[in-house]
Amino acid sequence: AQTVTQSQPEMSVQEAETVTLSCTYDTSESDYYLFWYKQPPSRQMILVIRQEAYKQQNATENRFSVNFQKAAKSFSLKISDSQLGDAAMYFCAYRSLYNNNDMRFGAGTRLTVKP
Amino acid sequence: NAGVTQTPKFRVLKTGQSMTLLCAQDMNHEYMYWYRQDPGMGLRLIHYSVGEGTTAKGEVPDGYNVSRLKKQNFLLGLESAAPSQTSVYFCASSWRGDFTDTQYFGPGTRLTVL
């Protein structure tokens, strides 16, 4: 089964600075999807960004971008110009192309933004 | 649109009691999911449904049952609650036509079993 590892339980960043959250995954599949979700104190899971494994170009969404290294099975999230509202738990997730009803999540990284 | 809603937001049960969690979505999504979230762990899939009248087991289905009688609703039942089922439960839905199957989550239900 696929596994997702987030090695940083907690991270902190100064407001307006840049922070990178790490994620690695284990799979034998060649095609799949990767996601970053944000979970603020309200607990609701919010999609931040997604990446299709067949695409070599890294996904970007405004201040959020990813560094997808397929060979290394790495999928890190970069948050630029960090804002106080970015403070949350961030979860990396993997979805198989072949069994796309089974999403695997990492344990999460708690991001603190300091004013 | 309200998106995905969950009822109730909090619940405390005694061991052996039963309860049903309700998930509702107004986005006309075909797929719906139930996850549990435990401290230090990512979300784990309990059951899912690919359409009205269908259900299937996920990664951790034991102790739970589900039903999808209407397309917009997905119910999660605990017949005899155990302390190990203390967790935060999330419902999600997605559109079959979205090739990435991006899931939209509800706000969660915090369940404590004493």
Q: Chain-wide mean pLDDT for chain A? A: 92
B2 band by pLDDT with thresholds 50, 70 and 90? confident
B22 band by pLDDT with thresholds 50, 70 and 90? very high
Q: Nearest to residue B109, comparing CAs of B83, B85, B80, B84?
A: B85
Q: Which residue among A37, A47, A101 places its CB closest to the CB of B48?
A: A101
pLDDT at A84 over 60: yes
Does A106 sit within 8 Å of B106, measured CB to CB? no
Q: Cα A3 from chain centroid? A: 14
Q: Which residues does chain A have within 8 Å of residue B108's beta carbon, measured at their own beta carbons?
A: 43-44
pLDDT for the residue A97? 76
pLDDT at A61 over 90: yes
CA distance A49 to chain B (A): 10
| Joined tokens for residue A55 | 């695409």
| Segment A36-47, tens digit of pLDDT | 999 988 788 899
Does B106 sit within 8 Å of A44, measured CB to CB? yes
In contact, A101 and B96? CB cutoff 8 Å: no
Alpha helices, H only, chain B: none
Q: Which residue among A4, A33, A46 places its CB closest to the CB of B42?
A: A4
Which whole number is the average pLDDT over B84-112?
A: 87
Does B56 sit within 8 Å of A107, measured CB to CB? no
Query: What residues 56-115 of chain A have any CB closer than 8 A to a CB of chain B?
Result: 91, 93, 95, 100-108
